[in-house]
Structure 1
Amino acid sequence: MTGSKAQNTSSIPIDAFSNLRVTSVWTFLQTIQWSETWLIGLLAFHVFCFVATLFTCKHYRLQICLFLMMVGMVASAEYLNELAAMNWRLFSKFQYFDSKGMFISLVYSVPLLFNTIIIVAVWVYRTFCTMTELKILQLKRKAARQQSQKKTQ
């Protein structure tokens, strides 16, 4: 029984550039060398996208454009992963781009999807507020109509 447990833990892949065993998303993220220039640029890009998401909350048309661009970038992640896997030596010290796309999903797509979720939440909130205002106006008009009918009678 103990021999099979040892075999199961040894079947967990060991990352090529560190001695950490990749057992979860957190350990996977720990194996990444975040000091690489292109990764710092990617993090700066995600900070910029987050700030743009927050600043466009009151500008509906800009937010639509931002939303569509982010969804387009997420949709193109598979192609970007293939391109980066073929040319990783040009910009990176290690080959991060696996065939299943775990790396690109975690460091590229998930932050973009987080921003799109924020945008959709803002849209739902604004829609709720607009519907509430509309209902209040309808009730006021109905009350005013009823009062004017009482006065004429």
Structure 2
Amino acid sequence: MERLRSVLEQHMDQMADLVQKLSSDLRSGLRPAYDNLMGFFHAIDWKEPWLMCLLAFHVFLLLVTVSSRRNTNFQMLLFLLALAGVYFAERLNRLLGSNWKRFATQNYFDSHGIFLSVLWSGPLLIVAILILVNTLFSLCNLIVKWKKAELRHRARLARNKQD
């Protein structure tokens, strides 16, 4: 019983430390996060050709996603490809990290994969979320159409029964 009490006290101390850290972070505001974001943004050489191609790819993928919003099968293919791109991001980060001298002026590919997460996985996840929201709206519209057809069918059956 004493061991359980000591474990619970340690857990409560850890929770109190986490709450204290969170509250101090919230009191400091968004300024540190903004400073980190700006530091990240300015550390990247945006004129590198491969980065321009990566950004163009994401813009193209977004345009294809928006323009094909009525084609559910194609959207599901895009959804699966986007999620596969996120799934293989760690392997891609390792591959690009070992070969960065061939295409970049500096090594953006750290062991944590922050750069690739922000510029590769992030936009792919945004595209996947857009496809998911579009699919949910399509399903809602399909359910409404189905229910209307069911109600019309029931009304037709009731009219036929009365006649």
Question: TM-score band, normalised by the shorter chain?
Answer: 0.7 to 0.9
Q: Partners of 1:77 and 1:52 in 2: how far apart? A: 21
Alignment of 1:51-90 (within 5 A): 51-90=63-102
Identify the residue that residue 141 of structure 1 maps to in structure 2. 153
What CA RMSD, in Å, does the superposition of the two structures yield over aligned residues? 1.4
| TM, length-normalised to structure 1 | 0.80
Structure 1 residue 97 corresponds to structure 2 residue 109: yes
Q: Partners of 2:37 and 2:154 in 1: how far apart? A: 57
Identify the residue that residue 118 of structure 1 maps to in structure 2. 130
Identify the residue that residue 162 of structure 2 maps to in structure 1. 150
| TM, length-normalised to structure 2 | 0.75
Which whole-Å deviations, capped at 9, do the CAs of 1:36-60 have from their partners, x for residues lacking one? 1110010011011111111211222
The size of the alignment, in residue pairs, is 130
TM-fit CA distance, 1:77: 0.5
Q: Partners of 1:39 and 1:98 in 2: how far apart? A: 16
Consecutive unaligned residues in structure 2, runs of 5 or more: 1-33
SS in 1 for 2:112: coil
SS in 2 for 1:147: helix
Consecutive unaligned residues in structure 1, runs of 5 or more: 1-21
TM-fit CA distance, 1:146: 1.4
Amino acid at match of 1:85: G
SS in 2 for 1:96: coil
Identify the residue that residue 3 of structure 1 maps to in structure 2. none
